[in-house]
Amino acid sequence: MRILAALALLAALAAPAAASSNRAFMDAMFGPPAGAELTQRAPVHQLQYQTQYVRHPMFLRQVVNYQTHEAPGTVVVDTRRHFLYLVMPGGKAIRYGIGVARLGFEWSGTHRVTDKREWPSWTPPTEMHARQPGLPRFMPGGPNNPMGARALYLGSTLYRIHGTNEPWSIGQSVSSGCIRMTNEDVIDLYRRVQIGTKVVVI
């Protein structure tokens, strides 16, 4: 009994440290860049970020087994599961957690990456202004821009795979059709994908 009690005490003492270490890891992956200020309210300047971040491990970037008929180098966007796959040889893929279109804005199809931009600007389309009249007409690239750190443009559509200044939205269906990634993940994908890459959205 004494041994069991001692083991229980050790486990209780270790739990807070493990939880703290896990939280620090998740904050490093999904949190704001160094020097940013955390706030529980809406950000009011370029170095302020909200404190809610994605914390589920399944949305961390990782290599997974992935069977597909698509060739290596193809990007497959699984909107129902909130994952983006970059197909690799040997039945593998790099899997990224994503945010996708909300109800009524879903779409699917096959396109090519036609442009790539770092810290892209944002010009909300007319349809978006009709739904949200308070949006700016134009927003330059930067930390407060909803387009995030990188953007991949898909064919002649208005849709893009891009970063986000709302990393807590990863794993959710919240956008007007674009595919969101954390800034860390979209930077990684941007380095691996070239103009002309095939993108399959299912």
Catalytic residues: 162, 178
Burial degree of 60 (CB within 10 A; 0-12, 13-18, 19+): middle
Strand partners, 97: 83
8 A C-beta contact, residue 61 and residue 55? no
Within 10 Å of residue 84's Cβ, how many Cβ atoms?
Answer: 27
* Sign of the alpha-carbon torsion through 64, 70, 74, 78: negative
Residue with the two structure tokens 């945010």: 99
d(CA 163, CA 149): 5
